[in-house]
Amino acid sequence: MPDFPTKSETLIVRNHILLSNIEFLKGVGPKRALLLQQELGIHTFADLLFDFPFRYIDKTTFHQIRDITEDGSTVQLKGVLTDLRTIGVGRKKRMSGKLRDETGTIQLIWFKGFQWIENLVVGNEYILYGKVNLFKGTATMAHPEFEKTGSQQKPVRFEPVYRSTEKLNQAGLDSRNRAKLVAHLLERLRGDLIPETLPGYLLQKTKMMDRQEALEYIHYPPDQERLDRASFRLKFEELFFSQLRLLYLKQQRTLATAGYAFLVVGDHLNDFYRQKLPFELTNAQKRVIKEIRKDLGSGYQMNRLLQGDVGSGKTMVALMCMLIALDNGYQSCLLAPTEILASQHYRSLSNLTQGLGIRIAYLSGSVKGNQRKETLRWLHAGEIHIIVGTHALLEDPVRFKRLGLCIIDEQHRFGVEQRSRLWQKASPHPPHVLVMTATPIPRTLAMTLYGDLDVSVIDELPPGRKEIKTLHRTEATRPQVIEFLRMQIEAGRQIYVVYPLIEESEKLDLQNLQTGYEALLQHFPRPKYQMSIVHGRMKPEDKEFEMKRFIDRKTQILVSTTVIEVGVDVPNASVMVIENTERFGLSQLHQLRGRVGRGGEQSYCLLMTGFNLSAEAKKRIDIMVRTNNGFEIAEADLELRGPGDIEGTRQSGQMEFAIADLGKDGKILQAARALAKAILTKDPQLQSEFNAPLRYYLDHIADQITWSKIA
């Protein structure tokens, strides 16, 4: 999927000074320009301007030497340099000095790069900034920053700190020198040379500062108040334009894309509802079906995201939607990312509709020969009402008679091109699309990632489901854990034991998995107990074989890596043991936990860790023990890790904000979306002269592909 435009393309008119090559900025030149391009992706003046500081150093407060009591604290001092000398020779050569204020003296030391330090003059007053080391009551500062008092052209309250690399530092492009480059650039841009992006009426309504001011103050804030205002303005701008684009695309697609109107609710749905529905639908399921029915009958193509925690009843909603399609004479397909998940859906749908005359077929890479030919022939003839399958459904020989509805499970596992091939199998209109995910998506992330889709949420579990008990255990309690597992197996239950698998340490992780498997064999010896082992390095057919043994209850314990995260439904499995829990993210832990609790028995999730846990790991584990609410967990995960680390979002350029943070800026996002929606409601095509900047933005980038718009 294409990314958002680069910073230098965002609302900057062609031939503008901001699009100048960074090489031509004072202090850069060809060699440094090449380094900035290679190390940070900074090609133009705009790229430099929009590469914001990640923190600021407060340079208004001066500490007194006698008040330094905390080892490792960072302080700013003002005093007289009383001593400066070279000590040692060769590799041991270093520079030593002393700074004195009216309260005491601090020892200074430089181990390298001190040629320029020799220019310091003993007896002069300097401002010094750095980290203090305390040893036996003596304060020392290594490699402090120095500045002669009175040398500042203008007082700086907050000194910006920019991201850097070793190569940039060696080439004289460290954070302080980068700040000087930005200062040169801002000087050149004085006099309203930075184009405004927001309409004047919007600035007046929100009382935000203009863009020129915001960009100056984000790099050189004179005080906290103006830094906060500059930060708000730039965050709002990013989030507002992302929402404007998504809402505009959604509006245009709705108006432009005709869809099949499913106006009939007939015998297939009614017979199923009266005869086969295994339990009363939850209020959440009823609400979601009502939302989907409205879309299906609108005459426009539906594009809806269905979110629901594991076990919330998404499959039931999907089936009822497919029965509505069938009542209107259309076929449906359900696309799943793995054979196990697809076959699971196929079995589930077949069992639910048995005896109702609904013909359901299954297609995957493993379906071959005459069976495959027959399935393809009956599908094309319209004799198959619902087909469930994997990527095999996307292949050219797969043809439908009247495809009206596509349901995609875990959509982030399918690429845009793959999905577009499915859309093209319907004619004359594209099929209605329902995307399902069991990964709870925080509201702010859903608004950004799926902002051009309508969103439905199933936020309650079916009645009778018992909440999974989650417990934190350490190595010290391993014997009790083993005994508990034995009792569960004796009671006829099955158990998952999951190990982390991280690419960087894959070999080591697989060794841990094997070691854990062998240790479990000691406690659960054959032939009394049977175990399956599954990991990503196995051949697909071997993995499927082992999984199937567990599903068919031929093994009591499944030892695996996270490959079982999506797609295994074993109602008899009542215990999930997660080893090295501290190495998993919150959402992943929640997904794994959702593999148990599928039946009526009390289920358990045991989080196993070592003793030494980081503060963040403790926080994650506490949240898991405290709540089973997937949306609460997803919000906490977003706050802890940021959107780029959350499953399925890495491939989206929409997540690459320069300053906005979806974990912290949810209120700004909601305000930005509400304003964008209000503007488009009043002026759908943005034809008003007041909205000219917004129209310009859309004309330049709104034709990019999104997650749901597939041409």
- Distance between CA atoms of residues 55 and 641, nearest Å: 18
Report H helices in 189-282: 200-206, 211-219, 224-256, 267-271
Looking at residue 2, its pLDDT comes to 29
Q: With a cut of 70, say whether residue 155 has pLDDT above it.
A: no
Looking at residue 711, its pLDDT comes to 28
Torsion of CA 177, 180, 185, 190, to 10 degrees: 170
- Distance between CA atoms of residues 424 and 431, nearest Å: 9
Looking at residue 467, its pLDDT comes to 83
Q: With a cut of 60, say whether residue 708 has pLDDT above it.
A: no
Give the largest CA-CA distance in the chain.
98
The strand pairing partners of 147, in sequence order, are: 127
Q: What is the pLDDT of residues 298-353, one digit of tens each?
A: 998 898 989 887 778 899 999 999 999 999 999 999 999 888 788 889 999 999 99
- In 10 A of CB 520, how many CB atoms? 20
Torsion of CA 645, 650, 654, 657, to 10 degrees: 50
Query: Do residues 81 and 110 lie in contact, with contact meaning Cβ atoms separated by under 8 Å?
Result: no
* Pairing between β-strand 55-58 and β-strand 158-161 as defined by DSSP bridges: antiparallel
Looking at residue 110, its pLDDT comes to 85
Q: With a cut of 90, say whether residue 465 has pLDDT above it.
A: no
Q: With a cut of 70, say whether residue 540 has pLDDT above it.
A: yes
- Distance between CA atoms of residues 240 and 155, nearest Å: 34
Question: Is the model more confident about 249 or about 642?
Answer: 249
Looking at residue 707, its pLDDT comes to 35
Could you tell me the CA-to-CA distances from 71 to 74, 110, 132, 558 in Å, in that order?
Answer: 9, 18, 6, 50
DSSP structural state of residue 470:
E
The encoded tokens of residue 522 equal 């000691």
Q: What are phi and psi of 106, to 5 degrees?
A: -120, 140
- Planar angle of CA 682, 685, 691, nearest 5 degrees: 70
Question: Of 427-431, 567-571, 602-606, 623-627, which gets the smallest average pLDDT?
Answer: 567-571
Q: With a cut of 50, say whether residue 568 has pLDDT above it.
A: yes
What one-character-per-residue DSSP string does 349-376 give? Answer: HHHHTTTTT--EEEE-TT--HHHHHHHH
Q: What is the pLDDT of residues 624-671, one digit of tens each?
A: 999 888 878 887 877 776 665 444 443 344 456 888 887 788 889 889
Using the CB atoms, write b or e for 634-658: b if 16+ within 10 Å: bbbbbbebebeebbbbeebebbebe
Looking at residue 445, its pLDDT comes to 74
For the entire predicted model, the pTM comes to 0.67
Distance of CA 336 to the CA centre of its chain: 21
| pLDDT bucket at 75, cuts 50 / 70 / 90 | confident
* Domains located in the chain, CATH noted: 60-155 (2.40.50.140), 469-627 (3.40.50.300)
Across the chain, what does the average pLDDT equal? 84
Could you tell me the CA-to-CA distances from 3 to 7, 9, 522, 696, 703 in Å, in that order?
Answer: 11, 12, 52, 19, 12
Query: Do residues 77 and 128 lie in contact, with contact meaning Cβ atoms separated by under 8 Å?
Result: yes
**Long-range CB contact pairs, 240-243, < 8 A, 24+:** 240/198, 240/672, 240/675, 240/676, 241/10, 241/197, 241/697, 242/4, 242/448, 242/451, 242/654, 242/657, 243/447, 243/448, 243/451, 243/669, 243/672, 243/673, 243/676, 243/677
Using the CB atoms, write b or e for 139-172: b if 16+ within 10 Å: bebebbebeeeeeeeeebbbbbebebeeebeebe
| pLDDT bucket at 213, cuts 50 / 70 / 90 | very high
The encoded tokens of residue 182 equal 């930005």
The encoded tokens of residue 26 equal 């004072």
The encoded tokens of residue 637 equal 């995960």
The length of the chain is 711
- Distance between CA atoms of residues 571 and 573, nearest Å: 6
| pLDDT bucket at 138, cuts 50 / 70 / 90 | confident
- Planar angle of CA 331, 334, 335, nearest 5 degrees: 135
- Distance between CA atoms of residues 344 and 329, nearest Å: 26
Q: If phi over 0 gives left and psi between -120 and 50 gives alpha, with beta otherwise, what is residue 528?
A: alpha
**Percent of all residues in the chain with a pLDDT value above 90, rounded to a whole number:** 41
Helices 666-682/224-256 angle, 10° precision: 50
Report H helices in 524-573: 540-551
- Distance between CA atoms of residues 44 and 25, nearest Å: 9
* Pairing between β-strand 432-437 and β-strand 494-498 as defined by DSSP bridges: unpaired
Q: What are phi and psi of 96, to 5 degrees?
A: -125, 145
The encoded tokens of residue 39 equal 């190390």
Q: With a cut of 80, say whether residue 566 has pLDDT above it.
A: no
DSSP structural state of residue 612:
-
Cα atoms in the Cβ-side hemisphere of radius 13 Å centred on 651: 12
- Distance between CA atoms of residues 234 and 693, nearest Å: 16
Looking at residue 288, its pLDDT comes to 96
* Pairing between β-strand 573-578 and β-strand 494-498 as defined by DSSP bridges: parallel
Looking at residue 525, its pLDDT comes to 92
Nearest to 459 by CA among 284, 612, 235, 672: 284
Looking at residue 702, its pLDDT comes to 46
The encoded tokens of residue 400 equal 């439908």
Question: Is the model more confident about 227 or about 463?
Answer: 227
| pLDDT bucket at 10, cuts 50 / 70 / 90 | very low
- Planar angle of CA 39, 44, 46, nearest 5 degrees: 110
Q: What is the pLDDT of residues 594-609, one digit of tens each?
A: 888 877 789 999 999 9
Could you tell me the CA-to-CA distances from 635 to 71, 154, 232, 629 in Å, in that order?
Answer: 36, 43, 21, 10
Q: What is the pLDDT of residues 466-486, one digit of tens each?
A: 789 999 999 899 999 999 999
Question: Is the model more confident about 680 or about 646?
Answer: 680
